Structure 1
């Protein structure tokens, strides 16, 4: 225990040579903003976003595509911002709507995987992550003989594949079975020109590609069990639609109901999603570029609907996003466990969850967006949530654009909106929590002054306890006697709340105006140090703001000091 405490002190000192600015712990720097739709900062940001999208439309960059964008907040019951654009080909088309709006139906492709995993969460989902999928899918229970079982190159060891590995694309199984197989999607002459050998009929797919119908359950498992793995389990994330089809079968076994019924009973009906469905809806409600067949609006993917077959609208997607952020269907603890990385990718900016594609942005600080994108036919989409800000956005497109279109628009929205949301949160936190808290009753001279500046979190500029400067005391403890001004003390919310009380942690660290390069020396180590200082079994960083019945802050309690300071 003593060596760990000493390590924490050394880490605090090491930070003096490491970071030029404050280094927050991962998570929100301020309480999530509320009522963003009426905030001047948000309105200015969305005006900028609208101008950029309009410019892209006028320049022809979005030609041939209809789009609908929604930005939403958990604290609001409606979209804080919405923008839709209808391509001329849709305005003058023969099928579907003539004007795209928030109620227009799109195919959402692989965003369906997010709905599937949300359904898992309603069944205490994370508890299943370590279970072998063969427990719920009988076709996968020891399907091979002894010699096949030990052949790791030709056969998947299904007894070791877990539900969590399938959900995070770490099962090492192929992306698809039958879908998009070249042997079925191109004539033999074209395949020969590509340098591919001709295949006997016995090696061609019997289902899953036109003109064949989707694979039924038996055909799917016959094929999957005859398909080689492409990686060992939990060795690397490799995207798999087939894995989510298997997850759909497992979910049906857990719920003892068909997937369509589970979807209706646990998401669509509770959230009153009027434009979302398991099967193809009335095309007159949808945006249909070209026609039903070439757009693939009517493409039947059979049992792969949990992987990519759901239909929805921008408004319904926003409603679903708010429900996740508000814990409407799942407890807060379960949601926090679910919204975490499961593995890295080869990119420092992208991690993988269940089924989250987690994008990390460095500005205005390290912020993780939990996203899910989708593509089917002429439909491309992305949904993103920022748990730090309790906000998100959805982009649905239909037309001749590629998968890159919603990704580019999503990055554009993130680069504009994340700094705006952070600024709104800071402004609201400053109005609510900043100020001086003091107790001068003749026996105690204690006060704390808090401000909001350009760094993450609320800054403690002065902390006096019983006439002693606590900043000076911490600086001396950290070996900063000659430069106590390099000590930083900043408050971040912990997401812990009780009636009339809100919890924050003080991130206390040394700073240095000279940055040091290098992965290790420049890394934020505050997560190692946060609770290093303990007094009477209470951490020195533990702070509570106390609220009146109207929710206004009336006092501050630095818990280790056993004192409550009224707000001046």
Structure 2
């Protein structure tokens, strides 16, 4: 055996400067990962994750029962007259994880048409989930190249309106040339929500003598239930009567009309009617068998969930040109196909999907943001887990409510459909239960799978070097607990350089997946190289409390120090394609490959966490 002797000064020179600048700037009391950098999404849920799926399933069913009896911590719903159906699914594992249908006795006895028992192919109205699908169709059909263009470039009526209002005040008239395509998709156009006339408010306020300040007292045409102009000409007579809410890109302001205008723009870009785009880019390629652009044919009503009757439920309320904002119909089975296609980038380039799944604006709620048109909310927190977000879209129309929720970091999502008298509240309670139950369990499954795949002692006998990688439920990512190079402790040298004292108690090296993969450089087709990045952090005894002191700046110091063209924080696992198990690890700055020789901790930590999580949710 040849032992490589490495001078202490050489290692200090290699590691010291990068480490010093990191710790001096990041006074943070726990390891600080980059956002979304946790663990790989689990893909072996039917084997390594089966106990977590069973625990989540059992807990969800118990909590649904508790909610229907007024006992749930997230609130209760009117179970006698509100139906709902849910599905939780894994995109990474390509499987349905949980389904649940509830058929309320009050509706079964009262309705005059449609199904008595909900199934995966039962048709519901989606309401504003339609906005999400419209945006997806836009991206599939035209990409996002036009998103920074003014909407006047693609909607002639608005170009003419903008020209006629060029000398008018911005308080009273929308500056349409400042409204971009992307601002409409992300609710940042600053325009009004709906049509200019509301029959219900006209009746309620007009009868008590409230003055009509605007003088607009009738809709140009449309369904009085939905306040919709019936065609494009009528829309541009009606909607521009209203004043702007904000200047564009000031603050999110929810608008249904924005998506009607967005559809007009897409029709102009493609030269194709929106209903045909819906069929061409959504229904046909994804083989959707229960999805409709507008009110389905009469023979479909027999397979619809229709509370009471088609009129009271709003089943037959025509959305007309506002269908892209809230008029679509679908089933749980078809919704899974669409959401899976979104997360898998089935129809979009992956980079476009990643660009789409990002916030566009903050809200006053610090745990929420707005996308295009994602309603983004913090995923339930778990000990040691990095901050993660759920990309959701809710919908309400008549006696229907819906929810789409995706957790890209974990590779899972869920869909909820509801019909009846208490749908908005039911969808909220059901979605809370699903998120609070399934997110922690899937995180625990991810830890168990990462433990099986990556933890262990990696050694290079020739250079007398080794790295020990473990999984710890109280820390994000994977931890490096021991690291030697040429027989010298790299961790000790880092601590010596930093000067571990009463201020800095310990040095932590955490590994996080970068999402980058490639075929093994060795030419072995059965192996894949998986990129990870490290954070080197000396944790303080206590975090400072100021807004600039207690700040997680991991994103600022990624690849900060580069030696010979290689970053110090770059690590590469070589993984067996068939099993997902790592066979070697390379700290790339050292230009060496260390072979996985044994598992560290024998997955005990992951199993302990799993038992703890299952005990909690039960």
Same-fold call, TM cutoff 0.5: yes
Is 1:506 matched up with 2:524?
no
2:469 aligns with 450
2:396 aligns with 375
Question: Following superposition of structure 1 onto structure 2, how do residues 256-267 of structure 1 map, counting pairs within 5 Å?
Answer: 256-267=271-282
Q: Distance in 2 between matches of 1:82 and 1:564?
A: 45
Q: Distance in 2 between matches of 1:543 and 1:459?
A: 13
CA RMSD of the aligned region, Å?
A: 2.3
Post-superposition Cα deviations, 1:528-548, rounded to whole Å, max 9, x if no partner, equal: 122223211211111111124
1:118 aligns with 136
Is 1:565 matched up with 2:574?
no
Is 1:205 matched up with 2:189?
no
1:543 aligns with 571
Query: Alignment length, in residue pairs?
Result: 556
Is contact 1:67–1:84 with CA below 8 Å preserved after alignment?
yes
Question: Following superposition of structure 1 onto structure 2, how do residues 144-223 of structure 1 map, counting pairs within 5 Å?
Answer: 144=162, 148-178=166-196, 181-182=197-198, 184-186=199-201, 188=203, 190-192=204-206, 196-198=210-212, 203-210=217-224, 214-223=229-238
Q: Give the TM-score normalised by the residue count of structure 2.
A: 0.85
Post-superposition Cα deviations, 1:488-521, rounded to whole Å, max 9, x if no partner, equal: 1111111101121111111222213424334332
Is 1:62 matched up with 2:73?
no
Is contact 1:102–1:315 with CA below 8 Å preserved after alignment?
yes
Q: Distance in 1 between matches of 2:56 and 2:372?
A: 31
Post-superposition Cα deviations, 1:451-476, rounded to whole Å, max 9, x if no partner, equal: 00121100001111222222223334
- 1:342 deviation in Å? 0.5
2:609 aligns with none
Is contact 2:223–2:317 with CA below 8 Å preserved after alignment?
no
Is contact 2:126–2:401 with CA below 8 Å preserved after alignment?
yes
Alignment CA distance shift 1:61-1:452 (3 Å) = same
Post-superposition Cα deviations, 1:259-305, rounded to whole Å, max 9, x if no partner, equal: 11111111111111111111222111110111111110111111011
Is 1:384 matched up with 2:405?
yes
SS at match of 1:486: strand
Is 1:270 matched up with 2:285?
yes
- 1:361 deviation in Å? 3.1
Alignment CA distance shift 1:406-1:147 (3 Å) = closer
Question: Following superposition of structure 1 onto structure 2, how do residues 93-104 of structure 1 map, counting pairs within 5 Å?
Answer: 93-104=111-122
Is 1:399 matched up with 2:384?
no
Alignment CA distance shift 1:145-1:353 (3 Å) = closer
SS at match of 1:206: coil
Is 1:34 matched up with 2:43?
yes
Match of 1:312 among 325, 330, 334: 330
- In structure 1, runs of 5+ residues without a counterpart are none
Alignment CA distance shift 1:545-1:270 (3 Å) = same
Alignment CA distance shift 1:426-1:278 (3 Å) = same
2:260 aligns with 245
1:480 aligns with 500
- 1:166 deviation in Å? 0.4
My pick for the range that moved more, 546-555 or 494-503, is: 546-555
Q: Distance in 2 between matches of 1:7 and 1:71?
A: 43
Is 1:533 matched up with 2:522?
no
1:22 aligns with 31
Is contact 2:194–2:239 with CA below 8 Å preserved after alignment?
no
Alignment CA distance shift 1:201-1:547 (3 Å) = closer
1:87 aligns with 104
- 1:145 deviation in Å? 5.1
Q: Distance in 2 between matches of 1:301 and 1:156?
A: 25
- 1:56 deviation in Å? 2.1
Match of 1:495 among 515, 518, 541: 515
Q: Distance in 1 between matches of 2:51 and 2:162?
A: 64
SS at match of 2:145: helix
- In structure 2, runs of 5+ residues without a counterpart are 1-15, 71-75, 520-527, 598-618
